[in-house]
Amino acid sequence: MPEIIVNNQQIQADADKHVIDILREQGIEVPALCYHPALTPAGECKLCAVEAVYPDKPAQIKLACTLKPTEGLEIRTDTEQVTRARTTAFRNLAKYAPESAIIRRLAEKHGIDMGAPPDECIRCRLCIRACKELVGADALKIERREGVRYVAPKSGNRCIGCGTCAAICPTGAIAQRDENGLRVISIRDEIIGQNPLLTCESCGRYFATPKFLSRIEARTEDHPHLKEHHRYCPTCAKLLSDRIKSASRMKKI
């Protein structure tokens, strides 16, 4: 069995095994998407790059899935050259599958910077226009970052949590998430707004934010309010309205 050095540690290696399997047996995680121990290695994804140093030869980048151990071979898995090679490999794969969450998670796990994730935003400005012209919150803007335009939140926590931007977005780039009494609206990994949710007085479910209801009240303050104010979710408001109408019809009968 050849003796090799792995990250400054000498080990006895099985000459019939590939270096990727030897490294994993040593508890060293090596990224790979095209490798399977039951198949002939192809070296297609290039993620398993390592630095190999043969006796009396300069270091070179090799693929651990196709490399076999030989006496005196030194393997390094955490050098700058390895990081550069893996970064190139990850970004090349991302060109084929830009929406792949698996590739991005694997890259993050191994400390590889993949740059800004794809956001599915087509820069149509529907969200910006709706937020300004329909809602009146004016919480969004287009800003340029390293030569690329992005939809981003304006400063000052202007978002009222109405969800109009998420509803009108044609590609689903803007997400709305309600969890534990909090509504979070985001694009990419960037938060547009976080607002607490109020509960329906009838069913007890969370349904709207205080900022949103205040905006509605402000916009309708010129109208006469003939009924007692209640905070009902749309479902309960409709049910109660239907019951009132039904009771009114019964009285007439």
pLDDT at 243: 62
For the chain, percent of residues with pLDDT exceeding 90:
67
pLDDT band at 231 (very low <50, low <70, confident <90, very high): confident
For 26-36, write each residue's pLDDT tens digit.
999 999 999 99
**Using a CB cutoff of 8 Å and minimum separation of 24, what contacts does 82-85 make?**
82/49, 82/50, 82/51, 83/111, 83/112, 85/46, 85/49, 85/61
pLDDT band at 246 (very low <50, low <70, confident <90, very high): low
181 vs 70: CA distance, rounded Å: 60
pLDDT band at 89 (very low <50, low <70, confident <90, very high): very high
Work out the mean pLDDT of the chain and round it to a whole number: 89
Contact in structure between 143 and 209 (CB atoms under 8 Å) = no
pLDDT at 224: 60
For residues 85-105, give the mean pLDDT: 90
Residue 107, both tokens: 């890259």
